[in-house]
Structure 1
Amino acid sequence: MTLSISLSVNGESLSVPLEDPRTTLLDLLREHIGLTGTKKGCDRGQCGACTVLLDGKRINACLTLAASVDGTDVTTIEGLATGDTLHPVQAAFIEHDGFQCGYCTPGQIMSAVGLLSEGDAGADPERIREGMSGNICRCAAYPGITAAVLDAQRRQSENEGTSA
């Protein structure tokens, strides 16, 4: 029996047939939709490589059944940039060397975007490290990641101040 779900992925409305109700959101994104930026790391919700935004909130796509996201809005790393203009968090990761091998980077960036939108980052590096603790970097690029999130937070605060 095929189950069909409808959702928005990176602003595009999709209807996707599911042959297996046990399909995770991660597998739906990678294998059914072809968005391979979201990475499969541990497949157990422990590393954060699969972090995406579901209705604006950070989730581990490997722990989320695709059938449960019917009617939702999913944002992946592919949906952050606007044309050739990088999202401020993406730009900050590049400027601060917030990656080494790059495997965890999409999940790190998505988690950072979520953390900033939640308003929980602040200007305290320890608070950022705690907020990002669900994302593991095996290369230990944590100083660059923290600096990137701090910079993106600062830029976001400045932009909000100038647009008010």
Structure 2
Amino acid sequence: MPKDMQNMAPLHLFVQEVLVLAIYERLINATVKRSKRRGSSWLADVKQNQSAGRGSEGGRLQQELQYVEATLGKGAGSTKQMLIQTAAGESSAPNLLKSSALLTHLAVLQSAISVSVDLYDTSWSLSDICYAPTFPEFESYQVEKIFEHLNPCTIITPLDCFWEGSLLLGPKFPVTVP
């Protein structure tokens, strides 16, 4: 096991905290949309702590988020479904495209995908809140369920160029073709 992957337990807990925050945000947004459809007024103010107590002013995370905002525009870095990987230490030219760094990135993504949170008597996972292309709505619930399982989360990563990156999308259960 690479040294980078030995201390994954704190990272797993951090990913779980971020997932809980994203689930709360998703529930609040859904409630706000329902309230607007009904004509009632409901004000929800959700403040996010991007560093979740693990960063400081002027830290590396803040620099990376500022870069994302400058490159992609305002609001692009505000999603909680973004993984920013930085090199350990402050070397002048870190290279994250080494096999050990990519394997660490794979382990972190697999950890994030496998996290589940039990909240309000429901088990939630990343697949419940992830960004995925949408299909038109159908009146038949069975048809919607079929498309739901066919449509994985959108994951864009440097691992897309490798076989290991394709394994992130699933399916969770093996598909057998008769």
TM-score, normalisation: structure 1: 0.23
Structure richer in helix, relative to its length:
2
Structure richer in strand, relative to its length:
1
Of the two, which has the highest radius of gyration?
2
